[in-house]
């Protein structure tokens, strides 16, 4: 397993700073819920996962608002610190051998039921990250960037930044934005094709490890329900902006010692 002691490349360092440290091609009008273009590497779908390293790692980065509140900061400050940490952990994950790093950044309910000022912050910090950090992150790792969810409908301002991101690569960083897994399953069930191939996430391999930070042992908005069927689940206590490389390394070490039987 690749050591995680080496952080992101110097070119990414500024974009990956947390708020705490800082304070000291898809056509427009397309309604598809995914930027996937139908050319995922076949190894994602067919090869068995390495016994020691998760092939597909999914993250629910919970705790941004609590982290901000503890420091007397605004929710937007918390989300800014949170998206910065996404870059840090994604970089470490793909360097360690993970092929697909998926992260959730909001459900339709989050974007329609929270205070407008917070929703604006959730979207704006993500847009800045997509423009200023994600391109270098993908290029440094040889990764493609995908987005899945109703983002075109609920946060269309993200579209230009998303269009500019790499669409080819042997590895992938997948953003779930304005995504609800129950909507994905309902739509697939209504389709005329085979159910599984109708899923928005049909091209992705099953999730091997799900990490939800913040200590809450629960799911939200049906996140990746279908792909989580055989997953290992972890609910570490640190709030997401405080989830360090050391914490992540401990999660990978724990996963490496787990025997996965897949019904055998």
The CA distance from 263 to 260, in Å, is 9
**Active-site residue 136, yes or no?**
no
User: Which candidate, 45, 83, 85, 28, places its Cα nearest to that of 172?
Assistant: 45
Which of helix, strand or coil describes residue 28? coil
DSSP string, 152-219: HHH-GGGHHHHHTS----SEEEEEEES--HHHHHHHHHHSSS-HHHHSTTTTSPPPSEEEE-SS----
Evaluate whether 142 touches 171 at the Cβ level (below 8 Å). yes
Residue 77 is a catalytic residue: no
**Catalytic residue from among 62, 77, 180, 208:** 62
Sequence-ordered strand ranges (E) for the chain: 56-60, 100-106, 143-148, 171-177, 209-212, 232-234
DSSP 8-state secondary structure symbol assigned to residue 34? B
64, 77, 110, 180: the active-site residue: 110
Active-site annotation, residues: 62, 110
């Amino acid at each position: 397993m690749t050591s995680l002691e080496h952080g992101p490349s110097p070119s990414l360092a500024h974009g990956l700073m947390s708020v705490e440290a800082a304070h000291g091609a898809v056509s427009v009008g397309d309604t598809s819920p995914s930027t996937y273009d139908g050319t995922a590497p076949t190894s994602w779908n067919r090869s068995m996962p390495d016994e020691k390293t998760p092939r597909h790692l999914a993250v629910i980065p919970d705790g941004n608002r609590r982290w901000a509140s503890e420091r007397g900061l605004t929710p937007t400050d918390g989300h800014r610190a949170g998206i910065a940490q996404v870059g840090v952990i994604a970089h470490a994950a793909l360097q360690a051998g993970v092929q697909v790093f998926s992260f959730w950044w909001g459900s339709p309910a989050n974007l329609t039921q929270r205070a407008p000022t917070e929703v604006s912050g959730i979207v704006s910090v993500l847009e800045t990250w997509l423009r200023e950090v994600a391109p270098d992150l993908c290029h440094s790792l040889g990764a493609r960037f995908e987005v899945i969810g109703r983002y075109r409908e609920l946060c269309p301002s993200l579209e230009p930044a998303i269009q500019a991101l790499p669409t080819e690569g042997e590895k992938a960083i997948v953003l779930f934005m304005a995504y609800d897994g129950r909507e994905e399953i309902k739509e697939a069930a209504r389709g005329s094709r085979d159910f599984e191939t109708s899923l928005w996430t049909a091209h992705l391999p099953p999730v091997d490890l799900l990490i939800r930070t913040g200590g809450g042992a629960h799911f939200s908005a049906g996140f990746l329900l279908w792909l989580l069927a055989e997953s290992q689940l972890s609910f570490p206590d640190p709030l997401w902006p405080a989830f360090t490389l050391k914490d992540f390394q401990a999660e990978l070490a724990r996963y490496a010692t787990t025997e996965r039987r897949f019904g055998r």
